[in-house]
Structure 1
Amino acid sequence: MTTVSLDIRERVSELRDLIRGHDYLYYIKEQPEVSDAEYDALMRELRKIEEDHPDLITPDSPTQRVAGAPSEGFDEVTHHRTMLSLANAFDDDEFVAWHERVAGLLEKDRFDMVCELKFDGLAVALTYENGLLVRGATRGNGVVGEDVTANLRTINSIPLRLTGDDYPDLLEVRGEVYFPKSRFEEFNAEREAQGLPTYVNPRNTASGSLRQLDPRMTAERPLDIFMYSVGYSEGGRALDNQWETLDFLNGLGFKVNMHNRVFSSVGDVLGWYRHWREEFDDLDYGCDGLVVKVNRFEYQRHLGEVGREPRWAIACKFPAEQATTTLLKVRFNVGRTGSLNPYAVLNPVYVGGVTVKQATLHNEDYIKSKDLRVGDRVIIERAGEVIPQVVRSLVEQRSGSEKSVTIPTICPSCQQRIVRREGEAMSYCVNASCPEKLVRLVEHFVSKGAMDIEGLGEKWGAILIAQGLVGDVADLYYLKQQDLAQMNLLDAVAAAKSSEFASALDKIGIPGVGKKTSGILADRYDSILELMAAPKDELAAIGGVNERASDSIIAYFLDDDLRAVVDDRGGAFAELGLVDGPTDLYYVNRKYLMRPETLRQKSVTNLLGAIEKSKGQPLTRVLVALGIAHVGSEVANVLARHFGSMDKIRQATREEIEELNTIGPKIADAVREYFDNPSNIRVVEKLTGAGVNMTEDTVADSGNGVASLKGLRFVVTGRLANYSRSAIQDRIKELGGSVSGSVSKRTDYLVAGEDAGSKMTEAEKLEIIILTEDDFESLLSERAASHAQEQTEMNIPSAQT
């Protein structure tokens, strides 16, 4: 190892400080003090020293923002604390009602409220240890997100090292990544010129950019970020309120929005809201409302949360944008439960930041209640990321040529019969083999809330079904490596065709055709088809293409073995509409065409591993995954915990199902209807045969010293020392109890931690039993002992008389 002089070390430190300072002035303050050329000179000097002395490279060096090879996927990250959602207020009255509720709980008429613009981007959490960025994650479901650290490091307004030394040992901060509106049209124009698909709006662009597997791709996009809260910290000074927090974040080098304000009156907040309701279009980032937060953290703790929504904050949403257009057609798609979902085909119109061509019509009853007709002039509405909807028709503009909407009598996907159940607002396809229904069901089956099979999304499911490899969800467990290898071939074709032709040609691997020759050929030809049709003399006449290269190109496309594979496999893909034509397969390197199982072998192995791992999911998850109408996680948990096995659920009568807690006649009918269908029984039996778990511990079977909380209702509040809120709620449910978000006369126990707040007061009024964490553990021990004694007594033989 070479010895690095003190002068060089000091110069490296000086350069890094200079560059960080200029980054802060340019990206955060937007007040650059040096020219681009001066900045580039500093960066070049630092890069050169680090190249000569690699031991001096540190993760927080400005040269290390873009690093690493493409990833095969994102790891999961559990947030230190749940990233909460916000309740919405859509008009002044709803905000005033929120303020009155908060004032009542705080017993104060006036309190400070911080107003922040609500950004329309992608929420992320950044973790710093000792001032260094170590992890960045997406919000995900609020509890678990995806690790996108490498991509977030490429955003210049995110400091790799915090400014100053007034920061905690561990700090998690939260903010919103966005794509500047001013750069969006230019970015899409560049993609269109390259033959690449364009993005719908800046928010989708930000989301797609942040989830690129190759951080170098993310680095090419002008993402930015605003930070707005501290999610978690260890060490450092305590913060007392939100306004102080925003100033604290700014002092650490984060970009904080300049339009934050603090008010103490309802009138001032509403005035600020009305100002931005008129002016938000002028901002260079998506904004769909105003977030209002109670300023003092002491008050926030007192107010607590309801579900995953804090009582101490609310999102005042801007009104949905509306536009007028013509309803051209009404079509129906098929959902995973077989529901026929109507949607409007519209004359394209720009609204809410995007061009809208389709809008939801919700259900058949909605069409009838609105008297919508094909040919009507209609008003459509779009708010934020909500799916556009048709609000009403302009009856006064009818010409008489409009036609009533025809409701299908057979399924538009499989042409089989449909049924309209009593009390339902739409019709259903009951064919278990309906292709479109199956695509949606596979998508649902593999999702995180169901069997959680990572890597098998909507695209793969649709292709597997189209190829006849999957006829129902159970077939996923019978897939072989060679089946999935075909999927990788299609992915490789799609990736190559979406990239520049020169790059795709270089990767094909034609002997004698390297990067330079590929670039020359790409200037002359636009596709593989054009290159295949070129005669030898034409190729040889191109400047920069030698005779060896032209001979290789001709020989490559005349190779009989290769042509046989392309004709056979490519023909099958083309027949299914998966590629434009058999010759699309020539975009894939020859060695992979001949042995597709070697293409991205690791991804196939990982997918097979994910499928195998999912066999161990609890019965609750399996029930959710089957897509039974009205059976979500809560109902599935009740069924699994009560009956204990799929067989017992299959055999249960409608009456036995209906008498369970939280299950009514509608759900009981849906469960019974599912298991009365022979096609569904075949799916369940195939899943069982594949080794998928079909049992779950019941409350009644949880003897041997395990407590039963069956029939007891709990409310949990306050800050707990040994449990997270979700963990103790899950524990209660596992043991047969139920959990509510509010105290009532039906509550049996309130489990209270520190800062229990109003729920404690309500429980005391109603004389509800209040438990500390220790009391809760004691209750479990007592009920476990009692349950074990009952089990013992049940096993004692009766005395002989």
Structure 2
Amino acid sequence: MQMEVKEQIERLRNELHRHNYNYYVLNAPEISDQEFDRMMRELQDLEAAHPEFDDPDSPTRRVGSDLNQEFVQVPHRYPMLSLSNTYNKQEVADFYERVRSGLEGEPFEICCEMKYDGLSISLTYEQGRLVRAVTRGDGVQGDDVTENVKTIRCIPLRLNGNGYPEEFEIRGEILMPWTSFETLNREREEREEPLFANPRNAASGTLKSKNSAVVAQRKLDAYLYYLLGEHIPFDGHYENLQAARSWGFKISGGMKKVTTLQDIYDFIDYWDVERKNLPVATDGIVLKVNSQRQQRALGYTAKSPRWAIAYKFQAERARTRLNAVTFQVGRTGTVTPVANMDPVQLAGTVVRRATLHNADVMEQLDLHIGDMVYVEKGGEIIPKIVGVDADARGPETGPRAEFITRCPECGAELVRYEGEAAWYCPNDTACPPQIKGRIEHYISRRAMNIDSLGPETVDDYYRRGLIRDVADLYDIQVQQINGEDGTREKSAQKIVRSIADSVEVPFERVVFALGIRFVGEIAAKALARHFKSMDALASASLEDMLQINGIGVVIAESVIRYFANEANRDLVRRLREKGVRMELSDEELSSHSDKLSGQSIVVSGVFSLHSRDEYKAMIEQHGGKNVGSISSKTSFVLAGANMGPAKLEKAGKLGIPILSEEEFLKKIES
């Protein structure tokens, strides 16, 4: 029986590995998504029932783990040097001539390939299995991100076929496709979080996530472009990559071997246009001498190889007419100016709107309605106006674009807080976008976690008059939202049940859910744990709040303004009547202390007694502050196994105490 189970598990693993390769590398799926998911669930069930057959390379590991991880610094066996950049064809010609001269007239081939705009990665394989994935770092050492990289479906955990060396390294670029990037930014925009400027930043931020489940959700991609090792099969770089393709790696189909300078120019000209149709971001062309023997002969400078160079494309710019400047109001009342322009093709998409960020940016550009403006995208997905063609102004040019003084939604006079670049609508209790935005914030996962509701549903309920603030959510009845013919009965029941369940959310998340301007999750925790009840928080003075570590004047004044508003006090009263928690529970109160008050603590390494998240929660429960990096202000480091050598060295230099798990637990229990 055991052997039959093991054989079934191995069969499913092999099948899923093959289908992963067909879908994510060859783009040629053989089965439906539903069939793939069915096989994956079957394998997950078998593995859960038979942990004795665990395999770290199983396809089920692709979903990632929600356990936090600390990245360990790993030295590169071969330094990861950067390439010299060039921005014009004359410099390409100079490179070609340097290669010709360096090889003393010996014939040579140049491999032309795309320069993908992502995060450099080094993958090490032993006996056909992925054993390590390391970021570029400083070129000498990088972060070990193996668990995160395992969630990227196009990177093989086991190689196909045969002929690969027993041990080798392959380098490439981790990328976020345009579609994944746009989805991610749309979600961040809905939560009023800062947007990623481009897919490269998004890919980098994702790969450095301490939660590999997040990495899996964001659907990263990867192209591999360089093979290293003692026993790689061919002298030719191009030929080695074709071999790597047969082993299961995703290799660009746009590579080409050439021999003449004109061939290189033709490749550049072709991809300067065609790259706009690619599913991932590119910012140039890489030219490499194909023969590794010739590469060794040409050698290196201190910073880069002499046998390779990167040609960077110019950031794409378009000229178009500015027709109007409109203004958007966000959840917190932030007013953002938006340029509305004649449609123009830019970096593969039609652009009609561009953010102007704030009043200061508008002032610097000196925009007039009817101006011909320059819009740039380049590597940036978010279009921006970078200049004005002032010479094109004529009698038909309209007035100067001025920042508004009143809210475009409710008419309230805008305010600007000290130290802030943005203007705000202060009418947070009656301005429609702010009302709907605050409801969306209240129901979000990190606040009250009311699932089954989203922006469209909130907008529908608002338009129908069912909700005018968050307290109205608790009055919604199933019959009001189950559809005219009752066909949405089950979803309506789920929504009402989820709203009712939210009264069990801890007090600190209730403080965050209120959406008080400038009060994020960390500030909400600090306020809740210091004042312990909503009544104490509502009556706190500026001086009281400034005693709390991490609470400054801006946050404190915002809290005071919130509770000075009668409508907000009434909202809190109604939420209390609905059963929403307005104070720390007895259990929470008994577990809190000030044993670590005023102390900044770094948590580093892998732990056995508690998880990293649990230790961070303990630190906060006892009045301490979690910080990510070591400085002279660090009180001590809570260190588990495999603490990063860089942190260990820095702590030693600064004389920062290092506590083990046992020492830390004794400290907070004493």
TM-score, normalising length from structure 2? Answer: 0.60
**2:128 pairs with 1:131:** yes
Q: Which residue of 2 aligns with 1:32?
A: 29
**2:72 pairs with 1:75:** yes
Shift of 1:516: 10
8 Å contact kept, 2:123–2:133? yes
Shift of 1:96: 0.8
Match runs of 1:468-487 below 5 Å: none
Shift of 1:575: 4.1
Residue deviations 1:311-355 (CA, integer Å, cap 9, x gap): 111112223311236899xxxxxxxxxxxxxxxx99477755787
8 Å contact kept, 1:175–1:227? yes
Residue number among 495, 501, 526 corresponding to 2:443 in the alignment: 501
**2:53 pairs with 1:56:** yes
Match of 1:227, SS? strand
Shift of 1:121: 2.0
Whole-Å Cα distance in 1 between the matches of residues 72 and 286 of structure 2?
A: 31
**2:391 pairs with 1:395:** yes
Residue number among 259, 277, 281 corresponding to 1:282 in the alignment: 277
Q: Which residue of 2 aligns with 1:243?
A: 238
Shift of 1:115: 0.7
Match of 1:610, SS? coil
Whole-Å Cα distance in 2 between the matches of residues 555 and 212 of structure 1?
A: 26
Residue deviations 1:452-507 (CA, integer Å, cap 9, x gap): xxxxxxxxxxxxxxxxxxxxxxxxxxxxxxxxxxxxxxxxxxxx999782634557
Match of 1:118, SS? strand
8 Å contact kept, 1:119–1:176? yes
Shift of 1:692: 6.6
Residue deviations 1:361-401 (CA, integer Å, cap 9, x gap): xxxxxx9xxxx966574545554369979577442435599
Change in Cα spacing, 1:573 to 1:75, as seen in structure 2 (3 Å) is: farther
**2:555 pairs with 1:574:** yes
**2:170 pairs with 1:150:** no
Q: Which residue of 2 aligns with 1:119?
A: 116
Match of 1:305, SS? coil
Q: Which residue of 2 aligns with 1:84?
A: 81
Residue number among 525, 533, 554 corresponding to 1:562 in the alignment: 533
Q: Which residue of 2 aligns with 1:298?
A: 293
Shift of 1:562: 0.4
Whole-Å Cα distance in 1 between the matches of residues 474 and 380 of structure 2?
A: 52
8 Å contact kept, 1:202–1:286? yes
Deviates more, 1:175-184 or 1:381-390: 381-390
Q: Which residue of 1 aligns with 2:515?
A: none
Structure 2 alignment gaps of length 5 or more: 324-336, 358-363, 401-417, 421-437, 481-491, 512-527, 546-550, 573-579, 598-614, 637-652, 656-670
8 Å contact kept, 2:241–2:251? yes
Match of 1:503, SS? coil
Letter in structure 2 aligned against 1:125: S
8 Å contact kept, 1:348–1:357? no
Change in Cα spacing, 1:528 to 1:14, as seen in structure 2 (3 Å) is: same
Whole-Å Cα distance in 2 between the matches of residues 127 and 169 of structure 1?
A: 11
Letter in structure 2 aligned against 1:562: S
8 Å contact kept, 1:326–1:377? yes
Letter in structure 2 aligned against 1:293: K
Change in Cα spacing, 1:214 to 1:589, as seen in structure 2 (3 Å) is: farther
Q: Which residue of 1 aligns with 2:600?
A: none
8 Å contact kept, 2:64–2:214? no
Q: Which residue of 1 aligns with 2:315?
A: 320
Change in Cα spacing, 1:187 to 1:136, as seen in structure 2 (3 Å) is: same
| Percent of residue pairs identical | 31
Whole-Å Cα distance in 1 between the matches of residues 305 and 440 of structure 2?
A: 44
Residue number among 188, 201, 220 corresponding to 2:217 in the alignment: 220
Whole-Å Cα distance in 2 between the matches of residues 51 and 116 of structure 1?
A: 44
Residue deviations 1:40-72 (CA, integer Å, cap 9, x gap): 333233222212211112001111222433326
Change in Cα spacing, 1:588 to 1:253, as seen in structure 2 (3 Å) is: farther
8 Å contact kept, 2:443–2:451? no
Match of 1:306, SS? coil
Letter in structure 2 aligned against 1:86: L
Q: Which residue of 2 aligns with 1:610?
A: 630
8 Å contact kept, 2:124–2:170? yes
Q: Which residue of 2 aligns with 1:667?
A: none
**2:175 pairs with 1:204:** no
Change in Cα spacing, 1:264 to 1:599, as seen in structure 2 (3 Å) is: closer
Match runs of 1:651-670 below 5 Å: none
Change in Cα spacing, 1:98 to 1:218, as seen in structure 2 (3 Å) is: same
Whole-Å Cα distance in 2 between the matches of residues 613 and 132 of structure 1?
A: 43
Whole-Å Cα distance in 1 between the matches of residues 151 and 158 of structure 2?
A: 13
Whole-Å Cα distance in 1 between the matches of residues 452 and 373 of structure 2?
A: 55
Whole-Å Cα distance in 2 between the matches of residues 389 and 401 of structure 1?
A: 18
8 Å contact kept, 1:536–1:550? no
Letter in structure 2 aligned against 1:574: I
Whole-Å Cα distance in 2 between the matches of residues 159 and 239 of structure 1?
A: 21
Match runs of 1:345-364 below 5 Å: 347=339, 351-352=346-347, 357=355
Whole-Å Cα distance in 2 between the matches of residues 325 and 605 of structure 1?
A: 50
Residue deviations 1:83-125 (CA, integer Å, cap 9, x gap): 2222222222221111111111111264100011111222222
Match runs of 1:88-107 below 5 Å: 88-107=85-104
Match of 2:171, SS? strand
Shift of 1:23: 1.6
Deviates more, 1:523-532 or 1:30-39: 523-532
Shift of 1:563: 1.5
Whole-Å Cα distance in 1 between the matches of residues 559 and 144 of structure 2?
A: 32
Whole-Å Cα distance in 2 between the matches of residues 216 and 155 of structure 1?
A: 11
**Number of equivalent positions:** 495
TM-score, normalising length from structure 1? Answer: 0.51
Whole-Å Cα distance in 1 between the matches of residues 446 and 33 of structure 2?
A: 34
Q: Which residue of 2 aligns with 1:45?
A: 42
Match runs of 1:722-741 below 5 Å: none
Whole-Å Cα distance in 2 between the matches of residues 552 and 587 of structure 1?
A: 6
Q: Which residue of 1 aligns with 2:259?
A: 264
Which protein shows a greater Rg?
Answer: 1
Match of 2:16, SS? helix
Q: Which residue of 1 aligns with 2:250?
A: 255
Match of 2:28, SS? coil
8 Å contact kept, 1:373–1:403? no
Residue deviations 1:660-719 (CA, integer Å, cap 9, x gap): xxxxxxxxxxxxxxxxxxxxxxxxxxxxxxx979xxxxxxxxxxxxxxxxxxxxxxxxxx
Q: Which residue of 2 aligns with 1:19?
A: 16
Shift of 1:19: 1.6
Shift of 1:203: 3.2
Shift of 1:16: 1.6
Whole-Å Cα distance in 2 between the matches of residues 517 and 388 of structure 1?
A: 33
Shift of 1:185: 4.0
8 Å contact kept, 2:189–2:195? yes
Change in Cα spacing, 1:574 to 1:81, as seen in structure 2 (3 Å) is: same
Change in Cα spacing, 1:275 to 1:589, as seen in structure 2 (3 Å) is: farther
Q: Which has the higher contact order (CA 8 A, sep 6+)?
A: 2
Q: CA RMSD in A?
A: 5.3
